[in-house]
Amino acid sequence: MPKSKVTKPPVKADEKTAEPKKRSSKHPQLLRGMKDILPESQKYWNYVRKLVEQLAEDYTYEMIDTPILEETSLFTRSVGENTDIVEKEMFSFEDKSGTNVSMRPENTAGIVRAYIEHGMLDRPQPVRLFYWGPFFRYDRPQAGRYRQFHQFGFEAIGDNNPIIDAQLIVMCQSIYNTIGIPVVTQINSVGCKKCRKDYEQLFTDYLSSRKKFLCEDCKRRLVKNPLRVLDCKVKECKEILADAPHIVDHLDEECKEHFVKVLEYLDEADIAYQLNPFLVRGLDYYTRTTFEIWPEKDDGSQSALGGGGRYDDLTEMLGGRPTPACGFAGGVERLVISMREKEIVIPQPEPPDVFVAQLGESAKKKALRLVEDLRIKGIRAASNFSKEGLKYQLSVAARLRVKFSLILGQKEMLDKTILLRDMEGGSQEVIDYNKVYVELKNRLEKTKAIIQNRNNQIEE
């Protein structure tokens, strides 16, 4: 008999492709590259968010929210005018006052703007900030690439010590390790303004002699911003780049020492990394360390789960005082796709304490109040008022995994009582309605103690 093939459950289309269904003129549909995060996906999102928030708390990073809409010049001056993000991918428009605005394609620029604008230089340095939110890039949608996507990120502003870079990498790896996604850190150094100048000349000379083989975009980049050729994904350009001089071989003494220190700290922390001389990242603001977190088994698409690096010149580029900084951002959608592919099990949330079921109009009215009264007193009560039948309501209670249900019918209304049903054994007892809170609380505490006892015995 042929062996039956074990097939993994497919990753949901809404997570993976971001492709909308066929357009119909009958009703509005999702825009291309956008996606809904449906209730059944939220457990992954909540889990990642809680993990990131806990990590931020552990490493004393404080939450910051910046606006989705910023002046376009913020991104042209920081991310860079000749980068793909600014040239091709920004959602930009003129607002009603005639200001050129863009929906943020990333957050480092916005955070540095906020750092300067709110005088954070006067706070103890480094200022450690973290964020979570939506970002927008008008790119060609494909697996793991959307026009609206979400990032979490950490920025440490005001310290040039290489241990900051290493600690950020330790933090990032910890997220993926905790979740159970095997990753590898790719790392490089792109040096500083000074050492990059010499390298740029060397690199331009190398490319100029091969110009005719470059794609049209790269021919243009060669004149305007040669280093951006290193971001090119076109096969012919990649082949030319394979023999190009490496920036890491042309670092000045200070940058070299900084990079060596970052690597030493990573070795000390037992963090595995791969040196990648082509990792310049597609944004102009980087200096010295650049790094990306890749899935361990990369399928060739090199869809990084996250990336970051040092940006010591960015504060100055945006009009502030020179302030060294380093940061990282992770893509949430790509992480959730990996979690689903790896069938990562999310710890189930605690079920509600009780389900309130009712029969008849007057019981329904009373139950409405009871649910809210219990909630205010700290008992999480679930209900479903949409259907009348008791059987249906109890099936909802079972699905919610509650230990107890309260049942209020016409008889109980007349007697001023309520039924308390143990959902596991199915036994029911009549309780004085006025004592419902006390009785329920006792039962819940008893059940909790039994479970605790059982868990202790298992541990022993």
Question: Which residue, 145 or 221, has its beta carbon nearer to ligand HAM?
Answer: 145
Question: Which residue, 309 or 352, has its beta carbon nearer to ligand HAM?
Answer: 309
Question: Which residue, 332 or 402, has its beta carbon nearer to ligand HAM?
Answer: 332
CB 325, min distance to ligand HAM, A: 8
Question: Which residue, 144 or 409, has its beta carbon nearer to ligand HAM?
Answer: 144
Question: Which residue, 151 or 185, has its beta carbon nearer to ligand HAM?
Answer: 151
Of all residues in the shown chain, the one whose CB is closest to ligand HAM is: 331
Q: Is the peptide bond before 20 cis (omega within 30 degrees of 0)?
A: no
Query: Which residues are near ligand HAM by CB under 6 A?
Result: 106-108, 137, 139, 144-146, 149, 151, 153, 155, 304-309, 311, 327-329, 331, 333-334
Question: Which residue, 120 or 357, has its beta carbon nearer to ligand HAM?
Answer: 120
CB 253, min distance to ligand HAM, A: 25
Q: What is the distance between the alpha carbons of residues 432 and 443, in angstroms, rounded to a whole number? A: 15
CB 128, min distance to ligand HAM, A: 12
CB 45, min distance to ligand HAM, A: 14
Distance (Å) of CA 235 to CA 58, 177, 231, 286: 43, 33, 12, 25
| Residue the block writes with tokens 């497919």 | 10
Question: Which residue, 153 or 409, has its beta carbon nearer to ligand HAM?
Answer: 153
CB 182, min distance to ligand HAM, A: 16
CB 435, min distance to ligand HAM, A: 55
CB 237, min distance to ligand HAM, A: 20
Distance (Å) of CA 425 to CA 166, 351, 396, 402, 420: 55, 17, 17, 12, 12
